Amino acid sequence: MRYVSTRGQAPELDFAGVLLAGLAADGGLYMPAAWPRFSAAEMKALRGLPYPELAAKIIAPFAAGSIGEAELLEMCHRAYAGFVHKATTPLVQVDTNLYALELFHGPTLAFKDMALQLVGHLFEHVLAERGETVRIVGATSGDTGSAAIEAVANRKNIDITILHPEGKTSEVQRRQMTTVQADNVLNIAVAGNFDDCQDLVKAMFADTPFRAEMNLSAVNSINFARIAAQIPYYVYAALNLGAPEREVAVAVPTGNFGNILAAWAAKQMGLPIAKFIVASNRNDILSRFLDANDMSVKAVEPSLSPSMDIGVSSNFERLLFEFLGRDAGLTAKTMADFRGTGKMVVAEPVWQSIRQQFRGYRLDDAATLAEIARFWKESAYLADPHSVIGLAAGRDCGLVGMPVIAAATAHPAKFPDAIEKAVGSRPPLPPHLSDLYDRKEIFTRAPADLNAIETLVRNFANRNRNA
Ligand SMILES: *Cc1c(COP(=O)(O)O)cnc(C)c1O
């Protein structure tokens, strides 16, 4: 499979190239040159397969030319072996036509594990083939750092350094990062805030000699490999609900638009998804766009669902590219104007065609708590503050008789304060994390100073040489 940039000015790459590059050199996002297509009979043949086998079959055409199906299957088995549910992504019925697709049974209790656990193995494989070593550096406000660390821990030819603001993450978040026992993981507690951490990471990437010396890399959310790894669970769930003979809808708690874009990709591959419901919190740029063609940037406000607190959804560019008929020049111009003015101009007919498939839904914090209480009361289903917005969106969408798959993106135990406010008690951590508070923490403290951080990263890279 070849990959093209949405902005048309970067070299075409194969899957391995896209995996290592992340963002395209022209600032665009990589997309497959054409969507692989499964006939209805081929889709049906996937029904009943265990999750890792189905995943390998769905992802194989994207990796073709870089990674063979047998190797991919092996990696899928290893990636999803760390999930604590035999179904990997179980489907739980919540109402007559409403199903929670639980994507949070991985090591960090959130859906990022679905893609990142596999991406860790993909990196290891491709790097070994090329005889390369990369050092991943990243910053976290607490929420996403652990998924990246768990993805890369103990993978060969990769180190990972994650900067977190000391004292400014929750204890669960910090412990999920600092208790990972792997000698290729460096946690740095920075004396500063999240912006300081992010600025330090940007400064390391901007320091060209350091970047080259360390072969710096990132596992960012715009990597197409992550999108590819998020397609299989929609197929798995829809087949269980009667697809391809029966149409389904999906409702997805959305931030960067990666998860719902993967659902749309599943449709391009032949899965009959009739409607895509984009669920957001008060940071509602996508709902405003879908309701009134108003894609204008506003300041991000913190909410009870922090992983959806975004000002701009970077993966939306991929959908735009498709609905502009894959016109890379027009996509590049639209994105440049958007960046310049803070408002995206989408022609009325293009917007209407997007609206035929997508609709928006939003809940503020008070409504989010009320919905957690309501689903608990009416269906004995305890949803976290992200997942519950998708569930409410699915319940209220008015698609009569059509099953709605609502992506459940985090385990309620990850957000105990919100759950306590909504239903009066704190959910326990699941058994595989129940000893989190007893595990040994390993991290290094550092000032918010580029020199100090670069020295730590370099010494860590050379740790075996010095030993
Ligand atoms: C990342 C995340 C989201 C948003 O997913 P996108 O792919 O960025 O739209 C939703 N919920 C949770 C819990 C997440 O971690």
pLDDT tens digits for 300-358? 999 999 999 989 999 999 999 999 999 999 999 999 999 999 999 999 999 999 999 99
Distance from the alpha carbon of residue 397 to the mean position of ligand 1, in angstroms? 20
Residue 16 lies in a domain: no
Distance from the alpha carbon of residue 259 to the mean position of ligand 1, in angstroms? 7
Ligand 1 atom nearest to 387, measured from its CA: 11
- Give the residue, out of 219, 261, 409, 414, with the most ligand 1 atoms within 8 A of its beta carbon, to mutate for a pocket test: 409
Nearest CA to ligand 1 atom 8: 256
Residue 326 lies in a domain: yes
Residue-level pLDDT at 218: 82
For ligand 1, is residue 62 a contact (CB within 6 Å)? Answer: no
For ligand 1, is residue 223 a contact (CB within 6 Å)? Answer: no
The residue range of the domain holding 393 is 91-109+224-423
Distance from the alpha carbon of residue 448 to the mean position of ligand 1, in angstroms? 28
Spatial contact of 3 and 13, defined as CB atoms under 8 Å apart: yes
For ligand 1, is residue 104 a contact (CB within 6 Å)? Answer: no
- Which of the following is catalytic: 57, 112, 267, 275? 112
Spatial contact of 377 and 302, defined as CB atoms under 8 Å apart: no
Distance from the alpha carbon of residue 386 to the mean position of ligand 1, in angstroms? 8
Nearest CA to ligand 1 atom 2: 307
Distance from the alpha carbon of residue 257 to the mean position of ligand 1, in angstroms? 8
CATH number at residue 260: 3.40.50.1100
Q: Which residues contact 438 (CB under 8 A, 6 or more apart)?
A: none
Q: Which residues contact 415 (CB under 8 A, 6 or more apart)?
A: 304, 384, 385
d(CA 416, CA 372): 12
Which stretches in the chain have pLDDT values below 50?
Answer: 467
Nearest CA to ligand 1 atom 11: 409
Residue 52 lies in a domain: no
Residue 194 lies in a domain: no
Torsion sign (Cα): 427, 429, 430, 435: negative
Residue 237 lies in a domain: yes
Residue-level pLDDT at 221: 78
Residue-level pLDDT at 142: 79
Domain count, the chain: 1
Distance from the alpha carbon of residue 66 to the mean position of ligand 1, in angstroms? 28
Ligand 1 atom nearest to 112, measured from its CA: 15
Structure tokens, 128? 């070994």
Say what the pTM is. 0.95
Distance from the alpha carbon of residue 283 to the mean position of ligand 1, in angstroms? 13
**3-class DSSP string for the chain:** CCEEECCCCCCCECHHHHHHHCCCCCCCCEEECCCCCCCHHHHHCCCCCCHHHHHHHHHHHHHCCCCCHHHHHHHHHHHHHCCCCCCCCCEEEEECCEEEEECCCCCCCECHHHHHHHHHHHHHHHHHHHCCCEEEEEECCCCCHHHHHHHHCCCCCEEEEEEEECCCCCHHHHHHHHCCCCCCEEEEEEECCHHHHHHHHHHHHHCHHHHHHHCEECCCCCCHHHHHHCCHHHHHHHHHCCCCCCCEEEEEECCCCHHHHHHHHHHHCCCCEEEEEEEECCCCHHHHHHHHCCEECCCCCCCCCHHHCCCCCCCHHHHHHHHCCCCHHHHHHHHHHHHHHCEECCCHHHHHHHHCCEEEEECCHHHHHHHHHHHHHHHCCCCCCCHHHHHHHHHCCCCCCCCEEEEECECHHHCHHHHHHHHCCCCCCCHHHCCHHHCCCCCEEEECCHHHHHHHHHHHHCHHHHC
For ligand 1, is residue 253 a contact (CB within 6 Å)? Answer: yes
Residue 462 lies in a domain: no
Q: Which residues contact 404 (CB under 8 A, 6 or more apart)?
A: 97, 98, 99, 248, 249, 250, 251, 277, 394, 395, 397
Spatial contact of 204 and 457, defined as CB atoms under 8 Å apart: yes
Residue 270 lies in a domain: yes
For ligand 1, is residue 409 a contact (CB within 6 Å)? Answer: yes
Ligand 1 atom nearest to 104, measured from its CA: 13
Annotated catalytic, 112?
yes
For ligand 1, is residue 390 a contact (CB within 6 Å)? Answer: no
Residue 85 lies in a domain: no
For ligand 1, is residue 256 a contact (CB within 6 Å)? Answer: yes
d(CA 285, CA 299): 10
Nearest CA to ligand 1 atom 15: 307
Residue-level pLDDT at 141: 84
For ligand 1, is residue 103 a contact (CB within 6 Å)? Answer: no
Residue-level pLDDT at 466: 53
